[in-house]
Amino acid sequence: EVQLVESGGGLVQPGGSLRLSCAASGFTVSSNYMSWVRQAPGKGLEWVSVIYSGGSTYYADSVKGRFTISRDNSKNTLYLQMNSLRAEDTAVYYCARAGPVVVVTAHPHWYFDLWGRGTLVTVSS
Amino acid sequence: DIQMTQSPSTLSASVGDRVTITCRASQSISSWLAWYQQKPGKAPKLLIYKASSLESGVPSRFSGSGSGTEFTLTISSLQPDDFATYYCQQYNSYPWAFGQGTKVEIK
């Protein structure tokens, strides 16, 4: 079955760190663009980060310099290392796979075609 | 950054109604727009990509249209399973951005 399963969420104090994992099955993480999207309680969706199949990474300004996306090809798993956490980082974090990537004039275009069920991160003292 | 604005924020409708949700982009995004459905406590589900292409397995009562800055999601005959929150998302340029959501409620 093709699926994504996140883990690693929990309660952390402001300034603390947490690493989220996303285990994939039914497809190969390293062959796809993979992303993290978060949703604060009662709020909308916010894209966080992406890692390309080639290894390039991009981040939302709100997390740049604090979060790091990576993957372990041998474990077929995506990660999000979150440092210097703030109260406003409290959210459900989803990992998501990109659908077919279309490149137009060197710019990639892709949407999210597969989502995990999410893991809750709460930043509070 | 591109901003996405959906309207209305909440919509009350009955089973069988035709429902239309609008999404506007702050600048042209060509047809690089997707629509997702989210139910409480669940992950979003892809409905439409490239503004009007129906994802495999999604009922044909869902349709999308538009290009440039104005887009619509239409449900031709609302079914009980369709009461949910709907989000548009632009994938023209980083950072990818979502609309604030439209909650479809039972009238």
**pLDDT band at residue B107 using 50, 70 and 90 as cut-offs:** confident
Q: How far A17 CA sits from the closest chain B CA (Å)?
A: 24
Q: What are the residues facing A71 on neighbouring strands?
A: A78
* Overall average pLDDT of the A117-123 stretch: 97
Q: Is the pLDDT of residue A105 over 90?
A: no
**Inter-residue contact A112 to A100 (CB < 8 Å):** no
Question: What tens digit of pLDDT does each residue of A57-94 get?
Answer: 999 999 999 999 999 999 999 999 999 999 999 999 99
Q: How far A15 CA sits from the closest chain B CA (Å)?
A: 25
Nearest CB to B100: which of A44, A58, A111?
A: A44
Nearest CB to A118: which of B34, B43, B91?
A: B43
Closest CA to A17 of A88, A85, A106: A85
**Inter-residue contact A12 to A123 (CB < 8 Å):** yes
Mean pLDDT score of chain A: 96
Say how far residue B89 (Cα) sits from the centre of its chain.
8
pLDDT of residue A12: 98
**Inter-residue contact B47 to B39 (CB < 8 Å):** no
Q: What percent of chain A has pLDDT over 70?
A: 100
Question: What is the β-pairing status of strands A3-7 and A18-25?
Answer: antiparallel
Cis peptide before A108 (omega within 30 of 0): no
**pLDDT band at residue B46 using 50, 70 and 90 as cut-offs:** very high
